[in-house]
Amino acid sequence: MGKTTGFLDYVRQNNTDVPVSERIKTFEEFHIPLDDEERQKQAGRCMNCGVPFCQSAMKLSGMVTGCPLHNLIPEWNDQIWLRHRGHGYARLMKTSNFPEFTGRVCPALCEKACTCGEHGDPVSVHDNELYLIEWAFANGRVVPRIPEIRSGKRVAVVGSGPSGLAVADELNHRGHTVHVYEREDRIGGLLMYGIPNMKLDKSVIARRQKLMEEEGVTFHTSVDIKDKETADGLMKGFDAVVLCCGAKKARSLPGADPEAIPGIYYAVDFLKSTTKSLLKSEDHTSAGLIHSGGFISAKNKHVVVVGGGDTGNDCIGTVIRHGCKSVTALEMMPEPPEERLPSNPWPEWPKTKRTDYGHEEAIGLTGSDPRVYETTVKEYITGKSGKLKSIVTVKVKMENGKLAEVPGSEQTLKCDLLLIAAGFVGCEPYTAEAFGAELTARGTVMTEPGHYKTQIPGVFTAGDMRRGQSLVVWAITEGRECAREVDEYLMGYTV
């Protein structure tokens, strides 16, 4: 432990942000890293406590707290404090394949379980992680690790989101020959087309792809495994197949049919259209986006986002950059408390209100929080052309375990763009069906509890396609664990 009194001597300091008025003009990342000296102090706050809940991933009261990857957090915090950043990077990579992703988009389950957070501010684990991996890239420490011996076994991974990339990375370093098949024109899954550029710059994904290709992984884009013939071809040409297609079947709203009512879209389709347009243009400002065209535009529109999760927040940040007239976010659940309740003690996951970057930007522009709680959409009103013009909202409350409308609480809101960010209800089933894999009632691919193999010999699954909609860090964890099971299947043992 490098600084025995660090948690007493230093206060938490986050990476600073570009001011709202400036950052909404561009789709570039807006977090400004601390300098080396201040980052050293932040790492010195880690107490190296006897029971590091930060790396535990324990389930308490039905919720996981701590890092699912079991990152060796006290170890690499200590190495940052000692300025042994190369050693810190080496310890980080023992458990994490892509810290440049989780260091940007993870909600930091580790920090919610930090012992310093019981009575004060937790250690800035999330920012420390990103600092280490970016330092390693900048200083030539991230180099191709090409396996010296190949096993002669071939593995096909269908889907290149975080779980598919983790499977491919692990099995390639084990010595197997890995081919990854992605239906989109670029790899990354929701990392590429579900998370906005200002949250995860797409050059970060391209950088990792280049490294993995140099290490021996082969990527095939614009290839959709959608029928039995192509599935059979993979099963014949490879010793194992891993399905990592995510849980992309969006949850709909009653009466909100995007195909029937112009102006209604699923959030992921909206975000994907913006990213695709940005990638066509070297100018990542709002003007560059509009110039490149071909996207679902929120410019000069009254926008309503339905859903209060990360995707809903990403939609808020995106429509603001488009130049919307207004944005309102509807959430069916009650407003969470600002602080932990006695019934939700540390180190449980805190059921508290979280104001993310999109909410901050809306507040900065309008002076008020865009979120409206305990409210849903009751009616969609269209104009003469059939396009969405406004919506009728209604308050809801829980009665006997079910949501019920509050009589007389209806309100009409201007709305010519409605974005559905209500989550997902499982995988798009056609790929699983092509291989003959069974689905659960939740729309995920069926496996035995705690395992990743399907009932089809040689076919495995991981990530959201197996566990349902979840976090990037869980997808990477699933990919690593699935790779271990595949390796044992191929070799009779695993290292």
DSSP, residue by residue, 221-275: -S----SHHHHHHHHHH-SEEEE------B--BTTB-TTTSTTEEEHHHHHHHHH
Neighbours of 136 (CB within 10 A): 21
* Tokens describing residue 21: 């008025």
| Backbone φ, ψ for residue 60 (5° rounding) | -125, 125
The DSSP letter of residue 53 is G
| pLDDT of the residue at 281 | 86
Report the distance separating Cα 481 and Cα 475, nearest Å. Answer: 10
| pLDDT of the residue at 37 | 97
Q: In the chain, which residues have pLDDT < 50?
A: none
| pLDDT of the residue at 122 | 96
| SS3 (DSSP) at 218 | strand
* Tokens describing residue 101: 């992703």
| Amino acid of residue 478 | E
Report yes or no: 20 and 365 within 8 Å, Cβ to Cβ. yes
* Tokens describing residue 165: 């990339």
Report yes or no: 145 and 93 within 8 Å, Cβ to Cβ. no
Question: Would you mind telling me the total number of residues written for the chain in this entry?
Answer: 495
What domains can you pick out in the chain, each with its CATH number? 6-138 (1.10.1060.10), 154-249+425-491 (3.50.50.60), 264-420 (3.50.50.60)
Report the distance separating Cα 481 and Cα 376, nearest Å. Answer: 39
| SS3 (DSSP) at 67 | coil
| SS3 (DSSP) at 379 | strand
| Residue-averaged pLDDT of the chain | 96
Residues 6+ apart with CB under 8 A from 345: none
Residues 6+ apart with CB under 8 A from 14: 124, 127
CA dihedral 191, 193, 195, 198 (to 10 degrees): 110
| pLDDT of the residue at 409 | 97
| pLDDT of the residue at 290 | 77
Report the distance separating Cα 80 and Cα 83, nearest Å. Answer: 5
**The model scores a pTM over 0.85:** yes
| pLDDT of the residue at 2 | 66
